[in-house]
Amino acid sequence: MDFVFLEARAKINISLDIKGKREDGYHDLATIMQSINLFDTVFIKKTNTGDIRLETNAGFLPVNEKNIVYKAAGYMLKKFDIKSGLYIDLKKNIPISAGLAGGSSDCAATLVGMKKLFSLPLKYAELLEIGAELGSDVPFCINRGTYLAEGRGEILTKLAPHPKIFVVLAKPPNAVSTASVFAEYNPKAVKKHPDTDLLIKAIYEKDIISIANNFCNVLESVTERNLPIITDLKSAMIKNNALNAMMSGSGPTVFGYFINKNDAHAAVRYIHKNFKQVKEVFLTTVYNPNQRRIKCRTILR
Ligand code: C5P
């Protein structure tokens, strides 16, 4: 085999709570993350050039060490003393700097792809550890599905698969820096924290109404303060019969849950018509892989 082709899925945060600031500068989280059927693709091919050549349809992205895909591939070549060159083609569909873990997922796909391509003697747990070094969301993006993520985001607990639902995503034109949203976060200003246990119970009971009613993200008000369009996009989704709508991660993407596909389509049309500046609007569904090998805690209820 001299090439691999991978799908790198985006995620949404159904809840995001911050438990405190850590000595390493990061924040301790409790966040329920869910993979969705919006994905980038990563094609990796062995070459005899001795270097890494990265191409992408997103012209403004760097194609050197500053790109997390290049960095992950270079890391694996070095760690396993691989002499081969690489050609990598990254096709972006996931909005960038959007709160959807696009970069982390591309990184995860690259790590998994390198393991496959070179048949690396790497245990699954080791792959997750390498992922955690490259980004807090990368281990989740390697696993994919429905997880509670704690610590920096790397301590994963597998939950029951999320019930099926249509998800509309709308990405305001602004890029948001995760680091600055976390830096601006003020625990004293938070009015409401998620009820994580209740959400986990709702996921186990496949109670989609309770899941949607309990959406809560403590970073939402930080980003919303700077970008009021987030509030308007949430209202637009609810006006079009979303069960509920919220910002994902550090933002600025807003997602809404729809039971009815026609309502979801109507919401997409409504946003296209009324928010001309919002170019990235998607209708997708939640994604849960059929996984057997997951080396982390599983909550059984
Ligand atoms: O780990 P990652 O590079 O994705 O994180 C980006 C930034 O987000 C970090 O540099 C940090 O400022 C912030 N962050 C945080 N606490 C976390 C995860 C991320 O403060 N648990």
DSSP code string of 155-180: EEEE-PPPPP-EEEEEE-S----HHH
The residue-averaged pLDDT of 267-287 equals 98
The residue-averaged pLDDT of 126-151 equals 98
The minimum-distance atom of ligand 1 relative to the CA of 178 is 8
Q: Which of 17, 40, 106, 137 is catalytic?
A: 137
The minimum-distance atom of ligand 1 relative to the CA of 29 is 21
Best residue among 13, 18, 178 to mutate for probing ligand 1's pocket (most ligand atoms within 8 Å of CB) is 178
Which residues are CB-contacts of 211 (< 8 A; sequence separation ≥ 6)?
A: 14, 162, 163, 199, 202, 203, 257
Q: How confident is the model at residue 50 (pLDDT cuts 50, 70, 90)?
A: confident
The minimum-distance atom of ligand 1 relative to the CA of 25 is 20
Quote the ligand 1 centre to 139 CA distance (angstroms): 14
Q: What is the pLDDT of residue 189?
A: 93
Task: Using the predicted structure, report yes or no on whether residue 300 has a pLDDT greater than 50.
Answer: no
Cα–Cα distance, 76 to 112 (Å, whole number):
10
Structure tokens belonging to residue 169: 């995503």
Binding pocket residue ranges, ligand 1, CB within 6 Å: 26-27, 29, 135-137, 152-153, 178-179, 182
Cα–Cα distance, 189 to 181 (Å, whole number):
14
Q: How confident is the model at residue 297 (pLDDT cuts 50, 70, 90)?
A: very low
Q: How confident is the model at residue 293 (pLDDT cuts 50, 70, 90)?
A: very low
* Closest residue by CA, ligand 1 atom 3: 135
Quote the ligand 1 centre to 99 CA distance (angstroms): 12
* Closest residue by CA, ligand 1 atom 19: 26
The residue-averaged pLDDT of 285-297 equals 67
Quote the ligand 1 centre to 85 CA distance (angstroms): 31
Taking alpha carbons only, the member of 294, 246, 250 closest to residue 103 is 250
Q: What is the pLDDT of residue 230?
A: 98
Q: How confident is the model at residue 1 (pLDDT cuts 50, 70, 90)?
A: confident
Taking alpha carbons only, the member of 148, 167, 159 closest to residue 212 is 167
Q: How confident is the model at residue 291 (pLDDT cuts 50, 70, 90)?
A: low
Which residues are CB-contacts of 203 (< 8 A; sequence separation ≥ 6)?
A: 32, 146, 159, 160, 162, 163, 211
* Closest residue by CA, ligand 1 atom 8: 179
The minimum-distance atom of ligand 1 relative to the CA of 104 is 4
The residue-averaged pLDDT of 198-205 equals 98
- 91 is an active site residue: no
pLDDT, tens digit, 9 for 90 and up, residues 218-273 = 999 999 999 999 999 999 999 999 999 999 999 999 999 999 999 999 999 999 99
> For all residues of the chain together, what is the average pLDDT?
95
pLDDT, tens digit, 9 for 90 and up, residues 146-180 = 999 999 999 999 999 999 999 999 999 998 999 99
DSSP code string of 208-235: HHHHHHT-EETTHHHHHHH-THHHHHHH
Q: What is the pLDDT of residue 301?
A: 33
- 116 is an active site residue: no
Calculate what percentage of the chain has a pLDDT beyond 70.
Answer: 96
* Closest residue by CA, ligand 1 atom 15: 26
Taking alpha carbons only, the member of 300, 9, 234 closest to residue 143 is 9
Q: What is the pLDDT of residue 234?
A: 98
Confirm if 57 and 19 have CB atoms less than 8 A apart: no
Q: In terms of residues, how long is the chain?
A: 301
Quote the ligand 1 centre to 155 CA distance (angstroms): 14
Which residues are CB-contacts of 81 (< 8 A; sequence separation ≥ 6)?
A: none
The sign one gets for the Cα dihedral 94, 100, 103, 105 is negative
Which of 295 and 195 is assigned the larger pLDDT?
Answer: 195
Q: What is the pLDDT of residue 45?
A: 98
Name the one residue in this structure whose structure tokens are 């309770």.
210
Q: What are phi and psi of 297, to 5 degrees?
A: -60, 145
Cα–Cα–Cα angle for 225, 231, 237, rounded to 5 degrees: 160
Quote the ligand 1 centre to 148 CA distance (angstroms): 17
Cis omega before residue 62 (within 30°)?
A: no
The residue-averaged pLDDT of 11-40 equals 97
Quote the ligand 1 centre to 213 CA distance (angstroms): 27
Determine how many CB atoms are found less than 10 A away from the CB of residue 19: 13
**3-class DSSP state of 132:** helix
* Closest residue by CA, ligand 1 atom 18: 152
Q: What is the pLDDT of residue 299?
A: 44
Contacts of 197-203 with C-beta under 8 Å, sequence gap 24+, read: 199/14, 199/15, 199/32, 200/32, 200/148, 200/159, 200/299, 200/301, 201/301, 203/32, 203/146, 203/159, 203/160, 203/162, 203/163
Structure tokens belonging to residue 57: 């349809």
